[in-house]
Structure 1
Amino acid sequence: MMKSENLYDDSEINLFLSISQATVSIRNKKDLVDFIQEKLKKVFDFSDLAITKFNLEKGIYKVFLEHCDKSNQHPDFNDIAFCEYPINDGLHNTIMDSETTVVLSVRELIQNGMRHFVFLQDAGIREVAGIRLLHKGEVFGTMVLLSEKEGSFSESHRRLIKNISSHVSSAVSNVIANEEIEKKEREQSILLSLSNQMAMVKNKDELFEVIDNRLKELFSLKSFGIILMNEDRKTHRAFLLGVSDEIQNSTDFKNIVHKDYDINDGIFNKVLASDSAVIFDIENLQEPLPLYAQFWKKKKFQKIIGIALRVADNDLGCLFVQPKEDFEINPVLNLFKGVSSQVVIALSNIISNEKNASQLKEILSYKEHLENEKSYLLEEVATGHKYSDIIGSGVEMQKVFHLLTQVAFTNSTVLILGETGTGKELIARAIHTSSPRKNNLMVKVNCAALPADLIESELFGHEKGSFTGAVERRIGKFELAHKGTLFLDEIGEMPQKLQMKLLRVIQEREIERVGGKETIKVDVRIIAATNRNLVKEVEEGKFRSDLYYRLNVFPIQLPPLKNRREDIPVLVSHFISKFSKSIGKDVKSISKLAMAELKFYQWPGNVRELEHVIERSILMANECVIKNVFLPNNENFEGHEQSGIGIKTIDENEKQHIINILKSCNGKVFGSNGAAKILGIPHTTLYSKIKKLGITKSEIFK
């Protein structure tokens, strides 16, 4: 072992050759430690060695490699030895500025302010010798030898340390370069593996799995969050979060997670403005802070890393991660940036897929809406109601027309009151066709014609499987009438349990399908009609008072036909023209006697009854003038007895009329020459009437 100064002088050339050969083979830190053990400790009397690496830009150094048999016995060794320290500490700046070996006592260093060297003194270290390490003429670190006694490093030792420093510099440079290469290869391998996984991501759940399993392990993360900008480009909201169950179940978290935040909140905008990762020291964040950052502080997060997620120049949002307390952040920041690029690719695919799915859903919904609209319009065409069907010039009808002009161009709810057959639906349609909503549908719901258990589904729609028989999703009348008008006929017949739901829809302007969880906004004007006395119904507890007041915004009372007899001639003329054309008879007028009968009659069925009477009279007429009309319970005119007509009820008249039409069509119900077409009603309605009136085949074909 070379301990005498003369021996060093005599064998320097052999030593240099030996060291030179040894350093050439060094590739990693282990090789470097073995070199120290085998070569340097045989030459110099020291117990510990530390090689440091400088960050000249930041003015700090950190231990790159240590071989400390003595000082690592100190209990605080790990907490002190591997921290970052300023280069200008009295030792390292002295070494960096010197071309020769620097030797200083630990006692002097402590006295000069290097308090973190107290642990070396406590561990028994008394003297240090240091030499700077250079690569291509630039200082990049130091080699420091630590001895347990002062005076360990003579002049020849110092000269020898300087002479071998170039070999050590070369060896350390090789190790650093190899580590960089290995690091980049490892990063490339990670990114390639991650890229393959990200390429397979199709939805949020799959992205969550990749980040939760791979990134948490790779970067030693406690939690993460992907925060995206909203469409308004002014706010942002959480898109995907991976946090602990404890945080997820906390009330504070639930209160902040679904909120929208201004993009210029002091956190989000800082990350967006940076091309690299931004590290936030949570304890030192300055108020005011957004709620989510206040939450970080409250939960005592130490650090949060944020990096912008962008495609080309288009900002999507930010990725935030919370590293574990013992995780070293800086060495992986570049890798973190590469990973964020992979996340952006997956995120772009997800957003694109979601947009495609949303557009497809919208197209299918629009298609469904069009199909429902087409079906509804075909039915409306079959019934053939037009604004011009409202006939009347008398005082009573002029009052009605005046009210129509007052309300038609508004969105106010209208309640139409009147006896059966007074034309409530025609008035509703007149309001709709004169309103700004005229280019959209007026959808009719007859509350009296539907079973109580189907009204809710009819109004609000239902999801597939929501009840027995719901084999597919169906949109309700409220959705069908969106941007248009919903006509609730016979509103007084609505079951009370549904009155509350209807009231809520009118107030909130939103619905939920039966069996569905999604809230759907609707823009619908409500027109309701009834032949009942709703005030009395409210008093008797049969109709909700709050719903009544919601509907009774603009009431229109339709007069019965017996109160507007002056309109009967005009109505008769209209119906003669209408049915003569559809039936195919050349009937043009009515006799004075028949008209007198019509004016004298009390018309319990109002205009609808008059319409049916004229239709039947045309069917029974043998000339171009109606001479006989068929009125039930009219004993005031002997003409009926003389002609053998007899007295019949409205149902009997309707039954006979339908039988006559069916006979003329040879029993054919629907089609271009069918009875339903001639009668001007849907074939389903005709089937219902045949069943209700008890019409048999024998009556048609006898």
Structure 2
Amino acid sequence: MANKDTLGSHSKDQRKYKTLLEISETISKDQDLFALFRRLAQVLPGIVQVDFLALLLFDPESQLIEDFIIQANVAGDIQGGKKWQLDAHPAGTVFQTQKAFLVADISQDHRYPEAFPLMQEDGVVALCVLPLTSSLRQVGSIVFASRQQGTYQESHLEFLHHVAKQVAVAVDNVLHHQELIRERDRLSLLLEVNNTVISSLDLRSLFEKISQSLRKNLQHGYTSLALHDPQSHRMRTHILDFPSGKGLLQEGLETEMDDTPAGQAFKENRPVVADVVALRGYQSDFIKVLKQEGIQAVCAIPLSSPNQIIGTLNVGSRKKHAFPKHEVTLLTQVATQIALAIDNALRFQEVNNLKNRLAKEKLYLEEEIRTEHNFEDIIGESVALKRVLQQLEIVAPTSSTVLILGETGTGKELIARALHQLSTRKERSFVKLNCAAIPTGLLESELFGHEKGAFTGAISQKVGRFELAHEGSIFLDEIGEISLELQSKLLRVLQEQEFERLGSTKTIKVDVRLIAATNRDLESMVGANQFRSDLYYRLNVFPITVPALRERPEDIPILVRYFTQRYASRMKKPIETIPQKTMDHLSQYHWPGNVRELENLIERAVILSQGSELVVDLGALKQTRQKSLPSNATLNSAERAHILKVLQDSKWVIGGPDGAAQRLGMKRTTLHSKMKKLNISRSL
């Protein structure tokens, strides 16, 4: 008989060890507490009867213990989520005393008049409650419940204590993991807010981005910025972000200091959290509207700059019990950064006002050292050039696409740079790219960038020119050289302001102003199906034709003196005079290479000059002239001269039976187009 008892005891011990091993394996495989308790409810009845199994966790912030998980092996309507005072539930008592709690029949125990009746409704009779304590902290309590009287005895405690120790480790690991995630999210949010603060001085844009970050992390309903008005001593809603609202809340609403959590937070210089009950104590219209919008909890954080409290950051939630202590701490840190941003924005405004005043004061000096139209690098006083500069001043403040036309060497890049400097984008990048200098296969990568591995040789990610030019200007020279396939992608960027890098599906949005230039006849290329018509019309919003140097001969002496002085100074040569004969020859030459050819000639002349007089090889100039006679530039000049003569003969009457268009054998609109292209106007 003794042997049978020994064998039975040994078999029972084996079942206990096996059960503990299964629990340990479950914990090692998965950190899901719900899965763990489901497994516990399955394996424990093999050792001791368990009809209900519950996990209650202690909340240090509220000093309450909460039903976190309740697992039933029998039919019952037990719901978790209820919070208890520590002395109102046996799990709270066990948490405080760290001693086991056993009761054979709760109907005979009157220590917990609120908790026990709820258990009895589901048929609970016997209880065993044990503390959950890891090596680092006390986390809560575990409850074993049975519908049979006297289920739990002292003999069960050793085994159930082992179970509780393993559950405590699992719960502590999960809680620690959640804390790490929360800390990671907190640091991520603070970094995101910090990057936003340092990247923008526009308060509205900055606040909207910060609000989006908060909404992503806290899932709140609305955010507002209330600033204190020292004159009226009231709080005024300066900026409001409430994307899910009904539109009842409006910016600009003023409230008394005592009527809102914001006013209270400002006066007391501390965070104020008002739940659905506390909100009833505020009588302002603003709070009434908040309630109509469904907001049930508000957190107001003072905004403290180095010198003063300037207002409050206010966050509202549709949850009744929102804004636990760790969220308030996080919002306080965010509010510190917002206060710094507001202070920076105000200081920037002061600096900007001072900058504008200084700019006006030095305007006279700038006019003294610049040309008539304040274009530092564009030299000349001819009517044709002044007309171009006037067009620049008109179009520069807009964001419209500009197409710069003109022969090679006329200074199209200088015009593009001047356009950028006159625009509102002058503080941002001016990015240029010569489309003719890049092989067709690599041009798309240069424009839009590529990801690592997008094609053979793409060993790293590359940022394209459009991305570099975000909020600035991009200058595409020789745009007529772009392939038809790439033209369609360029058109999309112009229309949608978005593109994808090669090898990526992520859409990148940019704000870029395009300035294009070409020496080719794009209109003819469209007719020959060499250039997309839709792209041409998109580029040709505001065309500017840069005149050839032969069309503004009065500028040649000015340019000769400018380049002579520039290169003589650079080479430290004392050149002081330019022979009149040399100047006459240079002024009469037709310059097929335009300003670039003139600049190169003067640079070479400065190198060769040994004394104080500029020496130019005029023989080489004549040779160049003979070789360049058949060029397109000469044909353009002849066409311009012929049209001018006909216009003068017809007394500048363009239409009609005896008009210039009729005499030239072309439509009136065609003549207008050619006059525009060749810079012909009646003022000439």
| TM value normalised by structure 1 | 0.43
| TM value normalised by structure 2 | 0.44
Higher-Rg member (1/2):
1
